[in-house]
Amino acid sequence: MSDRIESLRIAGIRMAVMLTSISVLFGMGCSTVPNKDGSPAQGFVAPGYEEVRQEFERNIRGRGELGGAFAAYVDGQLVVDLWGGWADPKRTRPWNRDTSVVVFSATKGVGAMTLAHLHSKGLLDYDRKVSDYWPEFAAKGKADITVRQLLSHQAGIVLTPEPLDARNPGEAARILADTEPLWTPGDYHGYHAGTVGFALQALVLRIDPRGRSINRYLQEELAEPLGADFTIGLTPGYDRSRIAVIKPFSPMEALFHLGEMPKGLRKVVFDGKSLFWKSMGEGKVDVNSTEYLSGENPSGNGIGTARGLAALYGEFASGGRRIGLAPETLAEVFGPAETPRLDRLDRVMNLDSYFGLGFQKPNPADGWFSQNPVAIGFLGASGAIGVADPAHRVGFAYVTNRMSPGTQVNDPRERALQDALYRALRTKMQEGSK
């Protein structure tokens, strides 16, 4: 019996570490910070979106939210902008309009946007070989990997022979070039949790005629024109007092939420020798540290507001004219998920995954994050998410500083907000058709 208890304890610790790692794919009470009218939600909703505000308040009052924000743009117009709760686990700092937070792997979707922008400029072809832009990448059986395969997690470069450091992109590129694929590229896919972002950085540095880093490109070409408060890593002079402190959860809390995790994923989480654990670096990272936030890691250290992330996705959803996205690029981005040659089972996560050109795609089985199968988005370890749905011309984002104790897919906090948003969108669509 003692061995069983110890194994459960270790499993719980693994669960907690897994969900606080830098790029995992995927009711406690909470004191609130009331607005002047007694509401725990700050901000506004446009007429017709009142239910979104109600669900946001329920998150804080009854779903264990610590602090967070939710925003949505429709046709380029901000229709929801809500925030509330606390920016730190000790509940000393209220979450305010400009509070930012690390969004973990939700950063990957923003990184993919920079590649899409380069495609719109005619500087990138998704079907060209990665080695055409980055010759060194051809080493060790990677010569024929296309950009499309790399961005769809089919390249097999899940593990690297040396750790990657966001503060040294040149060295990271060298290590990636020296990495041997774990499977024949294109045959399978598997979540490239800690590597794909560094590959994006290497491509942007080589493709952009000005040689800009991925974050500098993001700021100058996308974020600044849209007024989007989002950055990959800390920029010089960034006000760190704005950044919310991430609150992990206890191993015991994780054990009570095992049933929320897909069976396949649960299997690899409990296997300390699985490719999942190896790809996560065994979770050895302090996500609140200066070290983690330093440098540009497009796999996981994006920092921003819900409003900023939603503005980026909202631009993609509404046609991208303000930043010069080409119709051909949008047709590619919003195309169907990429299908590996042999099997869709994710070799890392041990479940069916759907990727396309650097974005996650909805799972047809449950319609997660959109009923529109060509919508794009990306989820982060805390439960943060950004989504663009061209059918409704909506971009939305949710950010939080309380790690979800279960799987982040269909996190009840985010799901309640998303469902309320889509109900409002459908109502408005019906009213507009009368």
Q: Which amino acid is at 84?
A: G
Which tens digits make up the pLDDT trace of 202-217?
Answer: 999 999 999 999 999 9
% of the chain with per-residue pLDDT over 90: 73
Q: Please provide the DSSP assignment of 217-277 as one string.
A: HIIIIIIHHHT--EEESPPTT--GGGBPPPB---HHHHHTTGGGS-HHHHHHHT-TTSHHH
Cα–Cα distance for residue pair 18/265, rounded to 1 Å: 11
User: Hey, what domains does the chain have and what are their CATH numbers?
Assistant: 2-26+28-433 (3.40.710.10)
Which of residues 405 and 16 earns the better pLDDT score? Answer: 405
Give φ, ψ of 358 to 5 degrees.
95, -5
Q: What is the DSSP letter of 394?
A: E
Q: What is the mean pLDDT of residues 94-99?
A: 97
Beta strands of 305-390 (E only): which ranges? 355-356, 359-360, 376-379, 385-389
User: Does pLDDT of 79 surpass 80?
Assistant: yes
Which tens digits make up the pLDDT trace of 219-268?
Answer: 999 999 999 999 999 999 999 999 999 998 665 566 666 666 777 887 88
Cα–Cα distance for residue pair 293/300, rounded to 1 Å: 9
User: Does pLDDT of 26 surpass 50?
Assistant: no
Burial 342-359 (b: 16+ CB within 10 A, else e): eeeebbbbbbebbbbbbb
Model-level pTM greater than 0.85?
Answer: yes
User: Does pLDDT of 388 surpass 70?
Assistant: yes
Region of 135 please: left (phi>0), alpha (psi -120 to 50) or beta.
alpha
H or E stretch covering 2: helix 2-20
Cα–Cα distance for residue pair 261/265, rounded to 1 Å: 7
Q: What is the mean pLDDT of the chain?
A: 88
Instruction: Report the residue count for the chain.
Output: 434
* 354 band by pLDDT with thresholds 50, 70 and 90: very high
44 neighbors 273 (Cβ within 8 angstroms): no
* 21 band by pLDDT with thresholds 50, 70 and 90: very low
Which two three-digit tokens encode residue 283? 């979770």
Q: What is the DSSP letter of 336?
A: P
* 35 band by pLDDT with thresholds 50, 70 and 90: low
Q: Please provide the DSSP assignment of 272-291 as one string.
A: TTSHHHHHTGGG---TTSHH
- pLDDT of res. 412: 86
